[in-house]
Structures are given as structure tokens and as C-alpha cells.
């Protein structure tokens, strides 16, 4: 057990030290301790742009996941058996399928077979085919697909805790279906939506395979940047510094939002 902690913490600590080292094209990794890498990252607009893109994508994916996933969880919850179980599994089981396979599916839909574009043209929604591969739009769609099950799970869990009697009471007091949804159901599932959003955001910000395949080599996000620094440029100290910034940003967001949700909705959790 102690071994497990060692296996996890030693490499992380070593990475933190590594991020302080210098790097020269001819000298390789220099055994010094400086904050130069962090300074470079924070000053350089190239890195700044990649961090901004990553968090912009993550925000968009989170928003889409809320808009698609939360209503779907509600609809699933109102279905009758056996449809409920069947569709719940259809919505969630892709989680167990390799991310590479699922992203390949989007690459096929966007690119070679072009089914998405053909469909949109056929529906009269667009006149000329859109560029999905190697675009942020494509990355957002594919990432949303990969991560939306987490939102469904989270909202589903909070829907299971609802008391249907309260909903019935609202309806019997003359509330319309929409009013019941807005005033009764929504406030109670908000914590589920928010904790789902935190999970989706954290995973979207650190996603690797999907942005790498859909975005290609040019359209980088933080994790593909780390990959390039480590395996192509071989500037390990810089890569380590970028990775640690990603870890810190992620942890800050997860822990910060969790606190916020727990304080704001303390009564719901009791």
C-alpha cells in the first residue's frame, strides 16, 4: 500500500523537480533549479494561445454536455421499462469503448465518407461542405460525444433522489408541465448538473487522443503540446512545467467548484 503511494507520488515529485531544470539545444537537460520555464510559458503568446484554446474548448464542451446531457437524463428517467434500461445502456455504454475508436468514428463521419456534410447539405442547412477535421468545431463535437455520458450519469443520479410526490403535488396544484420542470425538478437536480459539469470540464481540459486525432498536428491543446515537447522537441523540463500548470489549473477548478457547489447546495446534500 505504501508502495502504491510511492509509485504515484515519487514520479510526480520528480516531475516537479524536472520542470525547474534548464534545457539547451546542444546541452540537453541542465541540472539547475530555476523558474525560467514557468516564466517563458506565462510570457509567450504561443503557449498562452494554446492554454486559452484548451480552456475555451473545455468550456464549450461542458456547455454542450449540459444542454444535451441533462435533458436526455430527464427524458430517460421518464421512460418506461424496458426502454429505460435499454436506452440508458445505449447512452452510457460508449464510455467503455476505446476513445481512439470513438474518435476514429468522428474522423470518418467528418472526413472521408463525409456523411455529416452530406446530411447537412441534403437537409438544406448548409450550401457548401463545412470543414470539421482539423477545426475547433470538430474537436468540440467529438469531445462532447466522448464526455456527455458523464453528464447523463451525474444528472441521472440526482434525478433518482427526487421524490415523485413533490412533482405530483405541483401538478395537482395546477402547475403546467413546464412550470413543474422549471420550479420543482430543475432546482433539485442542479447539484447533479454542476458536478457533472466539473467532471466534463476537467476531462475535456486534459483530453489527449481526441484533440490529437481531430485537431491534427497544427491545432494543439495543452496535452498534445506536452506530448510534442516530450516526444518531438525533447524539451522535457518545459513539457513538465506545462503539464504541471495543467494539473494545477485542473485541480484548482475541480476543488474550487466542488467547494462552491457544496456550500451553495449544502441543504440538498443532507
Question: Which residues inside 112-141 make contact with other proteins, applying CB under 8 A?
Answer: 112-113, 115
Q: Report the residue number, 136 or 167, with the smaller CB distance to other proteins.
A: 167
Site residues for other proteins, window 78-107 (CB under 8 A)? 78-79, 85, 87-107
In the complex with other proteins, the residue whose CB is nearer, 99 or 261, is 99
Convert residues 44-73 into a mask of x (bound to other proteins by CB under 8 A) and - (unbound): ------------------------x--xx-
The count of other CB atoms within 10 Å of the CB of residue 229 is: 20
Residue in 135, 137, 188, 250 binding other proteins, rule: CB under 8 A: 250
Binding characters for other proteins, 170-199, by CB under 8 A (x = yes): -x-----x----------------------
Instruction: Tell me how far, at minimum, the Cβ of 206 lies from other proteins, in Å.
Output: 3
Three-state secondary-structure class, residue 23? strand
Binding span for other proteins by CB under 8 A among 33-41, 121-129, 151-159, 189-197:
151-159
Is residue 76 near other proteins by the rule CB under 8 A?
Answer: yes
Pick 41 or 222: Cβ nearer other proteins: 222
Residue 269, number of CB atoms within 10 A of its CB: 9
115-128 in b/e form (b: 16+ CB < 10 A) is ebbeeeeeeeeeee
Closest Cα to residue 198, out of 257, 141, 153?
257
Q: Are 157 and 192 in contact (CB under 8 A)?
A: yes
The secondary structure element, H or E, covering residue 22 is: strand 22-24
Asked if residues 237 and 20 have their Cβ atoms less than 8 Å apart, the reply is yes
Amino acid at each position: 500500500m505504501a508502495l502504491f503511494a510511492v509509485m504515484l507520488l515519487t514520479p510526480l515529485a520528480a516531475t516537479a523537480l524536472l520542470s525547474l531544470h534548464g534545457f539547451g539545444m546542444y546541452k540537453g537537460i541542465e541540472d539547475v533549479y530555476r523558474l525560467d520555464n514557468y516564466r517563458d510559458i506565462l510570457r509567450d503568446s504561443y503557449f498562452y494561445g494554446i492554454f486559452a484554446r484548451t480552456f475555451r474548448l473545455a468550456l464549450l464542451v461542458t456547455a454542450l454536455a449540459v444542454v444535451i446531457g441533462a435533458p436526455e437524463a430527464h427524458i430517460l428517467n421518464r421512460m418506461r421499462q424496458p426502454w429505460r434500461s435499454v436506452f440508458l445502456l445505449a447512452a452510457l455504454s460508449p464510455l467503455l469503448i476505446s476513445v481512439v475508436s470513438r474518435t476514429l468514428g468522428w474522423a470518418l463521419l467528418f472526413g472521408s465518407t463525409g456523411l455529416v456534410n452530406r446530411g447537412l447539405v441534403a437537409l438544406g442547412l448548409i450550401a457548401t461542405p463545412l470543414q470539421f477535421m482539423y477545426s475547433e468545431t470538430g474537436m468540440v463535437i467529438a469531445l462532447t460525444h466522448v464526455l456527455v455520458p458523464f453528464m447523463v450519469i451525474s444528472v441521472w443520479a440526482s434525478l433518482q433522489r427526487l421524490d415523485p410526490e413533490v412533482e405530483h403535488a405541483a401538478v395537482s396544484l395546477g402547475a403546467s408541465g413546464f412550470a413543474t420542470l422549471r420550479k420543482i425538478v430543475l432546482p433539485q437536480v442542479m447539484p447533479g448538473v454542476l458536478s457533472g459539469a466539473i467532471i466534463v470540464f476537467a476531462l475535456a481540459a486534459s483530453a489527449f487522443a481526441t484533440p490529437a486525432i481531430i485537431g491534427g498536428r497544427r491545432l494543439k491543446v495543452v496535452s498534445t503540446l506536452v506530448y510534442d515537447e516530450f516526444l518531438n522537441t525533447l524539451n522535457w523540463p518545459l513539457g513538465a512545467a506545462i503539464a504541471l500548470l495543467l494539473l494545477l489549473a485542473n485541480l484548482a477548478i475541480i476543488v474550487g467548484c466542488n467547494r462552491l457547489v457544496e456550500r451553495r447546495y449544502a441543504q440538498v446534500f443532507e
